[in-house]
Amino acid sequence: MARGRYVLVAAASIVAAVAILNRFGSAELGGSGTAGDARSRANDNNIDHNDNKHNKKNIKNKNNNNNNNNNKNNNNENNNNKKRAGSGTSGGAAPAVPSAGLGRSVEIFGAANALGFGISAATGSQLHLDLLGTGAFVAVAAATQGSDLRSRLSAVAVALWATRLTSFLVYRALQPGATDPRLDGVLSSTQGQLGFWAVSLFWGVVTALPHTLGAAVLSARPGLGWGAAVAGAMYATGLAWEAIGDWQKWQFIHDPANKGKFCDVGLWGLSQHPNYFGNLCLWSGIFLWNAPVLASRAAGHALLLPLWRQRRLLLAGMSPLFLGSLFYGQASGKISNSVELTQRRFGANPGFKSYMEQTPLIVPNVALWT
């Protein structure tokens, strides 16, 4: 019964999320369409004003002036078209990124997770879960990157993380008898499979928001400064923390001497889920990396509320907030049975109870590193 409610909530959440994201995926999120059209209209108005003024002063030479004005209008129209095509970066003309980059993200994640649901329904396998669910981030990064350095580095950061994590998870899934016991019950029914892939779609779209929204902004883009250095350090720390945590646990569980023991070595001695911390840290870094672009006020009336003018930044901020809530729910056992399974497996193990009581769930306690 609880699982049925979980699926209903997941389905309702994804429907609401797609509706909201498509609403914000309009041209106004791209940032350039409104400003570009305004500049074009201003240029056209100036042209018309100058033409009228010129014609009044030179009424006797009307035919010659009309020919000259037609040529000027054609030249100005060509210039306006070039501006529309190249508006976006402060360094000059560049190919325009589609303002519907967010919609493109929804399309790619939607296609990948729909395919995943089809395979799950047909085979019941777990081999493709991370290949499609996490691997889709690589395609999204490639499809939504902009033309400036900040946007391209953001895309590289997303693709690098997704490639590393997907490779590890797929390799782990290919090992004999490697299945996730937390998903056995969920994926045993069509209803559960639908709920799993709906949540996977929601997770992908929301997590990628800092990059997809940031890359879609075509207005003047600030250069890289100290904030970018802090963001890069956060990303690098998170990526390394997640990768090292995965490697340490892999080495621990495949050492015959550790059979029946719980992993409390290395980063796992500082927190119960260092991989969660690394993931949250790196995506917070991606959010901070794109924040200067996201913080540029979206087009709108001057009297609109300041929060509404910053809707891109606020919407992208859902990513780290969502991940933090998701990881806490999983680590605490509120939205998964991981804690129950761990208790069954290691509950009688000496030191396990004190480890669970003294070691933080996610954020590491460096004082424990001795």
| Confidence tier at 90 by pLDDT (50, 70, 90) | very low
Question: What confidence score (pLDDT) does residue 124 get?
Answer: 85
Place of tokens 């019964």: 1
Buried b (16+ CB within 10 A) or exposed e, 310-324: bbbbebbbbbbebbb
pLDDT in tens, 130-148: 999 999 999 999 999 877 8
| Alpha-carbon dihedral angle through residues 147, 150, 155, 156, given to the nearest 10 degrees | 110
Distance, CA of 4 to CA of 130 (rounded, Å): 23
Can you tell me the distance from the alpha carbon of 42 to that of 47, in angstroms, rounded to the nearest whole number? 9
Choice among 7-21, 108-122, 295-309 with the minimum mean pLDDT: 7-21
pLDDT confidence band for 183 (50 / 70 / 90)? confident
Q: Give me the mean pLDDT over the 3-9 stretch.
A: 39
Is pLDDT larger for residue 309 or for residue 293? 293
CA pair distance 140, 213, nearest whole angstrom: 12
Q: For the residues 105-110, what does the mean pLDDT come to? A: 96
Give 230 or 150, the one with higher predicted confidence: 230
* 62-66, 266-270, 299-303 — most confident range: 266-270
pLDDT of 69 over the 70 cut: no
- Predicted confidence band at 155 (pLDDT cuts at 50, 70, 90)? very high
In this predicted structure, the answer to whether residue 22 has a pLDDT above a threshold of 70 is no
Least confident range from 33-47, 89-103, 171-185: namely 33-47
Q: Give the C-alpha separation, 73 to 301, whole Å.
A: 30
For the chain, which residues make up each domain, given as ranges? 97-368
Q: What is the DSSP string of 318-358?
A: HHHHHHHHHHHHHHHTSSSSHHHHHHHHHTTSTTHHHHHHH
Identity of the highest mean pLDDT range in 95-99, 100-104, 286-290, 301-305: 286-290
Residue 103 has pLDDT above 80, yes or no: yes
**HSE-up of residue 205 (Cα within 13 Å, Cβ side):** 32
**Per-residue pLDDT, 145:** 82
- What confidence score (pLDDT) does residue 93 get? 33
Structure confidence at residue 100 (pLDDT): 53
- pLDDT category at 162 given cuts 50, 70, 90 is very high
- For residue 89, list its beta bridge partners: 92
Torsion of CA 91, 95, 96, 100, to 10 degrees: -130
**pTM, to two decimals:** 0.72
List all residues 6 or more positions away from 40 whose beta carbon is below 8 Å from its beta carbon. Answer: 80, 83, 84
